[in-house]
Amino acid sequence: MLLPLTSWSHTTMTVSEILLFSAGLDSFPAWEVLGRPPCLYLDLGHRYAAQERAAIADLVEACGMDVEISDELQLGRWEQPDAIIPLRNAHLAMLAAQRADTVWCVGVKGDNTLDKSPAAFTEMSRFISGLTGRAVRVDSPFWSQTKTEIVAGYLTAGLPAEHLLLTFSCARDDGARTHCGTCSSCLRRWISLVNNGVQAPFDAPPWRWSRVADYYVDAMTSGRYPAHRAEEFFTALATVGHPAARAHPAARAHSAAEEVR
């Protein structure tokens, strides 16, 4: 069975576990909640690896992270136009399992791609255990939490917001270190941070990205995303007075709370 993880205290570090680290806004809080385990970053030769490696260098310096950086897995040639690499997490889990029995690979509530879901990780655990003859567990500490809730837990634990801002979660492929504000990764980053009162820098305001008005407002309203995603989306839009937020119950509740304050 998968064990629930609710403690944000630093526990004993062991060499039996390893965290697949992406330098993103999910895997950095995972490092803290898991008690700062050793990390593995695999440079796949993908489009934004350079920025991720730069973010890792900053986080290592700021927090003393133990991150092994390896280029043993070159999957970049399989990267799709939308940056998806099919089977990516299965490859990552197998190489991490060469190093540890417990492999932490961060998925969050609502993630349901073919190789990143609770069912997929259970299947990977079974598959890798069977082929190695060891009990290997592939799991995420955050299956029951949204990005916004993960950031909230991190901040509630008294951990510094400025370390969160050193992470990199953007799909831009021009090598720039700043977040573009016009990609789905930036939109999700902005939502999870602004809903926790953290102002993060973006080259362009994510709420003004054309796809917000042209696609997300309708998609979130019409149920194409889980209810928790829609609620967090409209709550974030309400913080900047976006007109689309006024019609949504979650945003109205937010506005009412603002007026009471």
Residues that bind Zn ion (CB under 5 A): 170, 180, 183, 186
CB of 31 to Zn ion, least distance (A): 22
The distance of closest approach from Cβ of residue 169 to Zn ion in the complex, given in angstroms and rounded to an integer, is 8
For residue 42, how many other CB atoms are within 10 A of its CB? 23
Q: How far is the CB of 10 from Zn ion (least distance, A)?
A: 31
Buried-state track 103-142, b at ≥16 Cβ within 10 A, e below 16: bbbbbbbeeeeebbbbebbeebbeebbeeeeeebbbbbbb
Q: 23 or 180, CB closer to Zn ion?
A: 180
How far the first Cα of the chain sits from its last, in Å, is: 44
Q: In the complex with Zn ion, which residue's Cβ is closer, 205 or 249?
A: 205
Q: Which is nearer to Zn ion, 137 or 179 (CB)?
A: 179
Smallest gap from Cβ 198 to Zn ion, in A, equals: 17
Q: Tell me the CA distances in angstroms from 146 to 57, 74, 98, 149, 150, one per residue in order.
A: 26, 30, 30, 5, 6
- Between 180 and 230, CB nearer to Zn ion: 180
Give me the least distance between CB of 231 and Zn ion, in Å please. Answer: 23
Q: Which is nearer to Zn ion, 53 or 252 (CB)?
A: 53
Mutual angle of helices 88-97 and 118-132, in 10-degree steps: 40
The DSSP letter of residue 144 is T
Burial of 253 (0-12, 13-18, 19+ CB in 10 A): middle
Answer whether 59's CB lies under 8 Å from 159's CB.
no
Q: What Rg value do the Cα atoms of the chain yield, rounded?
A: 19
CB nearer Zn ion, residue 120 or residue 186: 186
Nearer to Zn ion, 141 or 206 (CB): 206
Look at residues 162, 140, 157, 159 and name the one whose alpha carbon lies nearest to residue 59: 162
Minimum distance from CB of 140 to Zn ion (Å)? 23
Helix (H, G, I), strand (E, B) or coil at 173: coil
Least distance between Zn ion and beta carbon 182 (Å): 6
Distance separating alpha carbons of residues 43 and 56, to the nearest angstrom: 11
